Amino acid sequence: MMRRRTRSDQWIYQFDRALRTLVPPTANARAVVPVSPNDETLTAFEASHVAGAMRVNHCGEVCLQGLYQGQRLFAQRPEASAQMEQSASKNLEHLARCSERLRQLDSRTSLLAPGFYMAALSIGAMTGALSERVGLGVLAASEAQAAKRLSEQQDRLPDTDHTSSALLRQMSTDKNRHAQLALEAGGLRLPAPVQWMMRGAFKAVSKTTYHL
């Protein structure tokens, strides 16, 4: 039987996950990004574009961590909480690898990431408080939107950057799986107008973090 977390457990978990999300990872297995032997040297323009895309993806992972943390505060069923933890842990790997790829490109993560994290944490808590099904539905829609963005980014990568292409392809596959898991756990399929608003918000965040 799964032990029910106490309020102290919840606060410790939240603090630990916030640190893992916002503090750059140390060298570990999660952060490994194998450089393809087929890669060719990127031009300055290409490297800048790829770094911008990776910065967007890193901030997207930061936002997803905030959403998952906020949702888990109000998760009622142990199986739903376990599903959220499984997907959130996998997303931590994505976050670490985006950070590592940025390091390889001599670039940095977004300066706005902490602010977006707090906003996502609040949104996750509010939607989770409405109902578990709504919260899971928001997670499913967010993961699906992220998968779509990653697929679009792959089409705009330089042909010589096989390393980034492989990373985005794996992340996109994981995102689609996470979206499906959230729906299978009872997530509500959000109405089209809500998804349109979410898409607009994601695009605004992407345009901002690409540069900052």
pLDDT reported for residue 2? 46
CA 68 to CA 51: how far, in whole Å? 26
Q: What is the pLDDT of residues 113-168, one digit of tens each?
A: 999 999 999 999 999 888 889 999 999 999 999 999 999 999 999 998 999 999 99
CATH class for the domain made up of 42-211: mainly alpha
pLDDT reported for residue 1? 46
**Do residues 53 and 156 lie in contact, with contact meaning Cβ atoms separated by under 8 Å?**
yes
Give the predicted TM-score (pTM) of the model: 0.87
User: What Å distances lie between residue 141 and 66, 95, 127, 176, 182, CA to CA?
Assistant: 15, 19, 13, 10, 9
Number of other residues whose CB lies within 10 A of the CB of residue 116: 18
* C-alpha atoms less than 13 angstroms from C-alpha of 142 in its C-beta half-sphere: 29
Domain coordinates of the chain in residue numbers? 42-211
3-class secondary-structure state, position 109: coil
pLDDT in tens, the chain (212 residues): 445 566 666 666 666 676 667 776 554 545 667 677 667 788 889 999 999 999 999 999 999 999 998 888 887 888 888 888 888 888 989 999 999 999 999 999 999 999 999 999 999 999 988 888 999 999 999 999 999 999 999 999 999 899 999 999 999 999 999 999 999 988 889 988 988 998 888 889 899 999 99
